[in-house]
Amino acid sequence: MESKEITISRGGLEGIYIAETTLCKIDGANGRLWYRGYPPIEVLAENSNYEEVSYLLLFGKLPNRKELSAFRERLKAERDVPPVVFDIVEEMSGRAHPMDVLRTCISSLSIYDEDPEDKSQQANIRRAIKLIAKTASIVAYMGRYRQGKDYVPPDSSLDHSANFLYMLTGKKPDEMAAKLIDLMFILHAEHGSNASTFSTLVTGSTLADVYAAVTAGGAATLKGPLHGGGADEAALRMMYSIGDPDNTETYIEEALEGGKRRIMGFGHRVYKAYDPRAKIVRKYLELYQERNPSEEVSRLLQIALRAEKLMLEKLSKTKGIWPNIDFFAGPLYRAIDVPAELFTPIFAASRMVGWCAHLFEYWQNNRLFRPLDNYVGEVDKKYVPSTRGSDPLAHTPGTDMGGWVWMHGLRCPGGTATIVVFTLRRYIYFQ
Ligand code: CMC
**Environment class of residue 418 by beta-carbon count within 10 Å: exposed (0-12), middle (13-18) or buried (19+)?**
middle
Give me ligand 1 centre to Cα 222, in Å. Answer: 16
Q: Is the pLDDT of residue 413 over 50?
A: yes
Mean pLDDT within 93-117: 96
Mean pLDDT rounded to a whole number for the chain: 90
- Which range has the worst mean pLDDT, 43-47, 340-344, 412-416? 412-416
Pocket lining for ligand 1, CB < 6 angstroms? 12, 191, 194, 226-228, 231, 259, 262-269, 319, 321, 324-326
Q: Is the C-alpha dihedral spanning 113, 118, 119, 121 positive or negative?
A: negative
Contact assessment for residue 353 and residue 189, using Cβ atoms and an 8 Å cutoff: yes
Q: Count the neighbouring beta carbons within 10 Å of the beta carbon of residue 38.
A: 14
Helix (H) or strand (E) holding 112: none
pLDDT at 81 exceeding the cut of 60: yes
Tell me the torsion sign for CA atoms 133, 138, 143, 149. positive
For ligand 1, mutation pick of 9, 194, 226 (most atoms within 8 Å of CB): 226
Q: What sign has the CA pseudo-torsion 167, 171, 172, 175? A: negative
For 331, half-sphere exposure in the C-beta direction (CA atoms, 13 angstrom radius) is: 29
Q: Residue with the nearest Cα to atom 1 of ligand 1?
A: 262
Give the pLDDT band (50/70/90) at residue 260: confident
- Does position 399 have pLDDT exceeding 60, yes or no? no
Q: What is the DSSP string of 251-315?
A: HHHHHHGGG----TTB--SS-SS--HHHHHHHHHHHHHHHHS--HHHHHHHHHHHHHHHHHIIII
> Does position 421 have pLDDT exceeding 60, yes or no?
no
Residue nearest to ligand 1 atom 9, measured at CA:
267
Amino acid at 109: L
The best mutation among 187, 191, 268 to test binding of ligand 1, ranked by most ligand atoms within 8 Å of the C-beta, falls on 268
**pLDDT classification of 409: cutoffs 50, 70, 90:** very low
Residue 405 has pLDDT above 70, yes or no: no
Could you tell me if 281 and 300 are in contact, meaning their C-beta atoms sit under 8 angstroms apart? no
Provide the whole-model pTM: 0.88
Query: What's the pLDDT tens digit per position in 167-194?
Result: 999 999 999 999 999 999 999 999 999 9
| Domains, the chain, with CATH or none | 1-381 (1.10.580.10), 392-430 (no CATH)
Q: How confident is the model at residue 39 (pLDDT cuts 50, 70, 90)?
A: confident
CA 327 to ligand 1: nearest atom: 44
Please name the residue ranges forming H helices in 48-169. 50-59, 65-77, 83-92, 98-108, 121-146, 160-169
Measured in angstroms, how far is the CA atom of residue 19 from the centroid of ligand 1? 24
Residue burial 71-105, b: 16+ Cβ < 10 Å; e: rest: bbeebbebbebbeebeebbeebeeeeebbebbbbb
For residue 268, the CA-to-ligand 1 centroid distance in Å is: 6
Q: What is the average per-residue pLDDT within 395-413?
A: 47
CA atoms within 13 A on the CB side of 114: 11
Catalytic residues: 268, 326
pLDDT tens digits along 262-275: 999 999 999 999 99
CB 307 within 8 A of CB 252: yes
pLDDT at 397: 46
- pLDDT value at residue 23: 97
Ligand 1 atom closest to Cα of residue 256: 2
Please report the atom of ligand 1 found closest to the CA of residue 14. 29
Higher pLDDT, 9 or 79: 79
